Structure 1
């Protein structure tokens, strides 16, 4: 395993982050992992040297956090691990149980700590931008969590560049903790953040922890596959199938390079991300082999010509994520 500094911090993280969205709620999402399967998956990640794990309170309505917490309790060395979770979406139907109000943030962090069986969260991320709560209230609440010791660092996810800039400015103006990471939607088939958000993060030295690095599996095969996720996951279909006409030629080029290098398409797509500056991709697989493929991509190097070949057919897409 390779490790990097999470820029603007002293935090050492594995170059691969394990995403835990697919843990729990197997009755509702048949491609997910149940408790025992999830614990075994996390154990394999730990045994592989991964120390960075990402979840959210809304994943499987809290069950993902519970499974990750149990796996850490059984097999993890807490002092070596970097655990991230997120807040915004509702876990229940309570009146104040969503968004980024001070009330919801304070309640959500206590609930996440209980489910994770932890005393603190390393990286607490706002899952989306809240248009209905003053940004000053949100940033003040997050800063107070850091001062209280419940959270070590704060991060952001899926927003427009102006929103991220405004949040950082408010924190700086008030002497509050600033965001240290951006978890955005970024892969070979979706590169809209290269216009504004990524250049802003680069200027601020903010690392990216992009989700969906393999475009929901679209980058790993000709397009659709015979898997449970392909059959049932409507979200992935909505994200990617609408733009199949312009994206499929890119997928074909991934296949060409994979064949020429005698490696998998997943390794090619992951390597493209891993060679970007200041990027730690989030891998959300459901099989050990998915994780092993992502790790093996650390040893793959694409030439400048191969990168250009993969990138040159990209066309503008509708915004997905910063909504």
Structure 2
């Protein structure tokens, strides 16, 4: 496993972060494709054994059961100081209205810590921008969470670069704990973050943690082929439904270069994203052992300048999605 520093913090994280949306009770929340504890356990153990020490979940995943499973399993396999644990706040739960008001943030972190079975998280991220709560209130509450020792650092996710800069400027002005990371949608068929967000993060030395690095699996299989998750995942059409023709051309190039390297397509798509200087650690999902094996193998693939150019050639501007 390869490791790197998380932005300006002293946290040393694996270059792959295990995204834990996959792990949660299917009967809770909106995702029928998630894996219950008995199916999640061996995959989390596989990640630990491979040297992954960075795990990302959210309070809203499977109505809190993702946090319950991830916290329980990690405690069995690793001492608390040997893994970096991230969670998020914004979306509603059955017992929480949601949003980023002071009341919501303070209740959310206490509930998350209880579900995770820990005294602190390493990274608390705001899952989306809250248009109904003054950003100053949100930032002050997050600072309070850090001051109380309930989160070591705070991060953000899925917002416009102008919003992120506004928040960073206000944190500096008021002496609040700053955002140290940005978790954004970034992959070969959605590269809009290269225009403003990634330059901003490079300038400020903020860690970029891309979600959906394989475009919800669309870069890992023949175009048009479906899986149980792709059929039931209601988010996919919103993210990629408007750009099928252009995206298919990119997927064809992924397939060609994968064949040239004699590796699965997922390894090429991940190798591309790992080659980007702004990227600290992509958030990878794994519902099968092979998903983790491909992700780990991608760390050793070096794409040539010509291969990167070929992968990027067919890209056309996309509507920025995933902000709400």
Is contact 2:238–2:321 with CA below 8 Å preserved after alignment? no
Structure 2 Cα separation of the partners of residues 7 and 180 of structure 1: 6
Task: Please give the residue correspondences for 1:77-96 in structure 2 after superposition, counting only pairs within 5 Å.
Answer: 77-92=79-94, 94=96
Is contact 2:214–2:270 with CA below 8 Å preserved after alignment? yes
Q: TM-score, normalised by structure 2?
A: 0.96
1:312 is the counterpart of 2:284: no
Give the unaligned 5+ runs of structure 2: none
Q: What SS class does the counterpart of residue 176 from structure 1 fall into?
A: coil
Q: TM-score, normalised by structure 1?
A: 0.97
Task: Please give the residue correspondences for 1:1-323 in structure 2 after superposition, counting only pairs within 5 Å.
Answer: 1-27=1-27, 29-92=31-94, 94=96, 97-279=97-279, 280-323=281-324
Cα-to-partner distance string for 1:115-171 (whole Å, 9 max, x where unaligned): 000010100000000111111111111111111101100000000011100101111
Is contact 2:201–2:278 with CA below 8 Å preserved after alignment? no
Structure 2 Cα separation of the partners of residues 147 and 293 of structure 1: 39
Is contact 1:41–1:288 with CA below 8 Å preserved after alignment? yes
Is contact 1:58–1:89 with CA below 8 Å preserved after alignment? yes
Give the unaligned 5+ runs of structure 1: none
Aligned-pair RMSD on alpha carbons? 1.2
- Higher helix residue share: 1
Q: CA deviation at 1:307?
A: 0.4
Structure 1 Cα separation of the partners of residues 265 and 111 of structure 2: 39
Q: CA deviation at 1:93?
A: 5.7
Structure 1 Cα separation of the partners of residues 261 and 157 of structure 2: 34
Is contact 1:31–1:286 with CA below 8 Å preserved after alignment? no
Q: What SS class does the counterpart of residue 154 from structure 1 fall into?
A: strand
Q: What SS class does the counterpart of residue 74 from structure 1 fall into?
A: helix
Cα-to-partner distance string for 1:288-312 (whole Å, 9 max, x where unaligned): 1101110110000000110011111
Is contact 1:187–1:215 with CA below 8 Å preserved after alignment? yes
Task: Indicate the larger mover: 168-177 or 219-228.
Answer: 219-228
Cα-to-partner distance string for 1:27-84 (whole Å, 9 max, x where unaligned): 4634321111112211111111100000000000000000001101211221111000
Q: What SS class does the counterpart of residue 219 from structure 1 fall into?
A: coil
Q: CA deviation at 1:226?
A: 4.1
Structure 1 Cα separation of the partners of residues 265 and 75 of structure 2: 35
Task: Indicate the larger mover: 295-304 or 234-243.
Answer: 234-243
Aligned residues: 321
Structure 1 Cα separation of the partners of residues 238 and 158 of structure 2: 17
Structure 1 Cα separation of the partners of residues 224 and 44 of structure 2: 27
Q: CA deviation at 1:267?
A: 0.3
